[in-house]
A and B are shown apart, each in its own frame.
Chain A
Amino acid sequence: MTGPPHAVHLVPALAAWLDPVAALREMWALPFMVNAFRAGTLAAVLAGTAGWFMVARRQTFAGHTLSVVGFPGAAGAVLVGAPVWLGYLGATMLAALALGRTGGRRGEGDGALIGTVQAFALACGFWFVASYSGLLGGTTSLLFGSILGITSGQVTFLAVVTVAALAVLAASGRRLLFVTVDPAVAGARGVGVRRTDVAFLLLLAVAVAATVEVTGALLAFALLVLPAASAQRVTARPATALGLSVLMAATAVWAALTVAFYTPYPFGFWLTTLAFAGYLLAVALDRWHVLTRWRHAWRPSARWRHG
């Protein structure tokens, strides 16, 4: 019964809410917080975009599988002395290729088989961590992330990955959407359906590996699916939804970092909680047709234009 009760920590959090500029100045005076904001923003951009395609393609289970296999990959890399990012990237890319080969169009062919392999992958990760005596508390950081320990090198790695992934999506996003919505017609128009499917799984693997650096293996999935699913509820326009997904992911990351800084609870908890609150808000907006009503109120000519 030592130390102040937890409610006391909420006071500085509320103060930060009332004066966000001062709060940002206070946080950004610390180099590790600057890196956290940079890495978090990059991960939000990457996860928001790749996540929207993942949700539209109904590949959330594949995305979850890729996140989970990141853990044994990273733990294995630590065990053999390889860089952690290489462990994440290697494991997710291998898993993406395996899913693309065996899992049918969505990489989810036999859900039970993939679930079994997922469970075994987690066990392997646990074993790797247990075998490595030098890594204290490593399991938590691999599973739930260590955003406050992000180095400048990791930020650079994230920036390179994000720019590369966005370039790939800019070049082929339209074809990817075509294959997603209408594979038979896309194939007839000369778009390689199979190739596009596998290419997207690989892109998703890269996005997961980069996001995992920030959020850990278990919560990467949250940043991929929650903002994208919320954006999808709010709008059915692909371009708007992509932008909104990124915006919601970035907002969740920034708010979570700020609240986590002023409270004793970890970043990952706040990130998922805030993103989930955003999802509930999106569902409410969609359920009660709030946006449609606003649009009708402002633009009567658009009465019959929904979405």
Chain B
Amino acid sequence: MSRLATGGVRDASGDAGREASGDAGRDASGDAGREASGGADVAVRLEDVAVRVGGRQIWSGVSTTVHQGRFAAVLGPNGVGKSTLLKVILGVQPPAAGTVEVLGGPPGRARGAVGYLPQRRAFDPGLRIRGVDVVRLGLDGHRWGLPLPGRRSRAAAARVEEVVDLVGATAYARRPIGELSGGEQQRLLIAQALAPAPRLLLLDEPLDSLDLPHQSTVAALIARICREHRIAVVMVAHDVNPILSYLDEVIYLARGGAAWGSPREVITTGTLSRLYDTSVEVLRASDGRLVVVGQPEPPSVHGDRHDR
């Protein structure tokens, strides 16, 4: 498998004013300008990471850095392994090659500091557990023993109220979660991921089950949390448009390789054509939305666009 286009655009300081010349197609191996290890505010650092699933290499040569308080999106065609990238950062999927550093340590070490929203089918409509109970599980569901009443339990309940309020779900948080709409469930799940006060938020297609107005409100909510609480967000997205105006970084995965940098540098006709090794055109609509034309969709492995 030849790497067609890999490029690191932003340097480790993350300062948009000091971006390396906007050549997103530069080869990663020549990208020596990157600092070897990030500073204290680096949330995620990937260095020449490759992943194999079931003996098959799904992507390789990905190097990028996401800083605290920055909003990064993982984009790419269906089935390319976007969710797998989140699993690598979580420490659930070990990389086949390269270095992964999460919040200054190996992935999987700072579990309490990483909030995770997996790609999600809706909850079973018959599930008779309240929304607040589901949020509470994100706070202390991994603990042994009974949640006995006391100071700790009151503090936990207060924290649950706080995050439920933060995502604007107070009105329905006490109803059984199976009875709620997809958008309501998604807000409560974002609250669940926020409950342990994470420094890194990994979101896998959080807008997928929502209609268009809800997509933009949830996208705005995530961006606000990212800025105001200085939480790094890495979000897998199928459609870049609802989050485009908030994005600091884009990691674009394709069969042949990957490109990363600011959205303006990565989502371009030149970069994507190199990445796909075919003629791809990026068009900008009058309202700023991007349309990628001619993007080859790889054959779906399981007939399910949500695999990986």
Contact of A186 among B117, B126, B141 (CB under 8 A): B141
Q: Which residue of B lies closest to A241 (CB)?
A: B128
- Residue A8 interfacial (CB < 8 Å): no
Q: Which residues of A contact B124 (CB under 8 A)?
A: 58
Q: Is the CB of A188 within 8 A of B111?
A: yes
Q: Collect the chain B residues with CB atoms within 8 Å of residue A188's CB.
A: 90, 92, 111, 114, 116, 118
In terms of DSSP, what is the predominant structure of the interface of chain A? Answer: helix
A223 → chain B closest CB, angstroms = 20
Q: Mark B103-117, 1 if CB is under 8 A from A, else 0.
A: 000001001101011
Evaluate contact between B175 and A175: CB separation under 8 angstroms.
Answer: no
Size class of the contact patch on chain B: 20 to 34
Instruction: Judge whether B129 is part of the interface by a CB distance below 8 angstroms.
Output: yes
Total contacting residues, chain A, CB less than 8 A: 31
- Pair A307/B130 contact, Cβ less than 8 Å: yes
Asked if residues B129 and A190 are in contact (CB atoms below 8 Å), the reply is: no
B143 interfacial by beta-carbon distance below 8 Å? yes
> A174, B141: Cβ atoms under 8 Å?
yes
Nearest residue, chain A, Cβ from B147: A174
Q: Which of B130, B141, B171 contacts A191 (CB 8 A)?
A: B141
Is A156 an interface residue when CB atoms closer than 8 A count as contact?
Answer: no
Q: How far is the CA of A171 from the CA of B144 in the complex (A)?
A: 5
**With the chains together, A236 CA to B117 CA distance in Å?**
23
Min distance, Cβ B95 to any Cβ of chain A, angstroms: 17
Looking across the interface, which residue of chain B has its beta carbon closest to that of A170?
Answer: B146
Q: Contact: B129 with A181, CB < 8 Å?
A: yes
> A188-B92, A189-B111 are contacts. A178–B142 as well, Cβ < 8 Å?
yes
B142 touches A175 (CB 8 A): yes
Q: Does A172 lie at the interface of the complex (its beta carbon under 8 Å from any beta carbon of B)?
A: yes
Compute how far the CA of A29 lies from the CA of B129 in the bound complex, rounded to whole angstroms. Answer: 44
Please report the C-alpha to C-alpha distance between residue A233 and residue B26 in the assembled complex, in whole angstroms: 60
Instruction: Give the chain B neighbours of A305 by CB distance below 8 A.
Output: 174
B134 on the interface (CB 8 Å rule)? yes
In the bound complex, residues from chain A placing their C-beta under 8 Å from that of B303 are: none
> For the complex, is A185 an interface residue (Cβ under 8 Å from B)?
yes
Using CB atoms, name the residue of chain B closest to A235: B128
The digit string for B187-212, where 1 denotes a CB below 8 A from any CB of A, is 00000110000000000000000000
Q: Contacts of B130 on A, CB cut-off 8 Å?
A: 236-237, 307
B141-183 residues with Cβ-Cβ distance < 8 A to A are: 141-147, 171, 174-176
Residues of B contacting A306 with CB < 8 Å?
A: 174-175
CB closest chain-B residue, reference A306: B175
Q: Total number of A-B contacts with CB less than 8 angstroms?
A: 92
Which of A184, A191, A241 has most B Cβ within 10 Å? Answer: A184
| A184-211 at interface with B (beta carbon < 8 Å) | 184-191
Q: Roughly how many angstroms separate A173 CA and B140 CA in the complex, as a whole number?
A: 12
Known contacts A185-B118, A185-B138, A236-B176; is A174 also within 8 Å of B128 by CB? no
A182 within 8 A of B: yes
In the bound complex, do residue A174 and residue B144 qualify as a contact, i.e. CB atoms below 8 Å apart? Answer: yes
Chain A 215-237 near chain B by CB (<8 Å), digits 1 or 0 = 00000000000000000110111
- Could you tell me which residues of chain A, from 36 to 59, have a CB within 8 Å of some CB in chain B? 56, 58
Q: A307 to B147, Cβ gap below 8 A?
A: no
B133 at interface by CB-CB < 8 Å: yes
B145 touches A181 (CB 8 A): no
Residues of B within 8 A of A307 (CB): 130, 174-176
Q: How far is the CA of A236 from the CA of B176 in the complex (A)?
A: 6
B127 at the interface (CB under 8 A from A): yes
Instruction: Check A300 for interface membership: any CB of B closer than 8 A.
Output: no
Which residues of B (253-284) have their CB < 8 Å from a CB of A?
none
Interface centre among B90, B114, B129, B143 (most CB of A within 10 A): B129
CB atoms of B141 and A189 under 8 A apart: yes
Residue of B nearest to A239 (CB): B147
In the bound complex, what is the Cα–Cα distance between A238 and B193 (angstroms)? 20
A56–B128 CB distance below 8 A: yes
Q: Does B4 contact A (CB under 8 A)?
A: no
A178-B141 contact, Cβ under 8 Å, with A232-B128, A236-B175, A307-B176: yes
Given A56-B128, A237-B130, A177:B141 Cβ within 8 A? yes
B142 contacts across to A, CB distance below 8 A: 175, 178, 186, 189-191
* Chain B 221-261 interface residues, beta-carbon cutoff 8 Å to A: none
With a cutoff of 8 Å between Cβ atoms, the chain A residues found around residue B92 in the complex are 187-188
A56 touches B127 (CB 8 A): yes
| Residues on A with beta carbons closer than 8 Å to the beta carbon of B219 | none
Residue A304 interfacial (CB < 8 Å) = yes
Would you call A236 and B144 a contact (CB within 8 A)? Answer: no
Which residues in B have their C-beta under 8 angstroms from that of A237? Answer: 130, 133
Chain B residues whose C-beta falls within 8 Å of the C-beta of A170 in the assembled complex? 145-146
Distance A186 CA – B112 CA, assembled complex (angstroms): 12
In addition to A174-B143, A189-B116, A235-B128, 13 A-B residue pairs with Cβ atoms within 8 Å of each other are: A170-B145, A174-B141, A174-B147, A175-B144, A182-B134, A185-B116, A185-B192, A186-B142, A189-B112, A236-B133, A304-B174, A306-B175, A307-B175
Q: List 17 A-B contacts (CB under 8 A).
A: A56-B127, A171-B145, A175-B141, A182-B134, A182-B192, A184-B116, A184-B118, A185-B137, A185-B193, A188-B90, A189-B116, A189-B141, A191-B142, A236-B133, A236-B176, A237-B130, A307-B176
Residues of B within 8 A of A (CB): 90, 92, 108, 111-112, 114, 116-118, 123-124, 126-130, 133-134, 137-138, 140-147, 171, 174-176, 192-193
Q: Which 10 A-B pairs have the closest CB atoms?
A: A178-B141, A184-B118, A189-B142, A236-B176, A188-B116, A232-B128, A236-B128, A305-B174, A236-B130, A306-B175
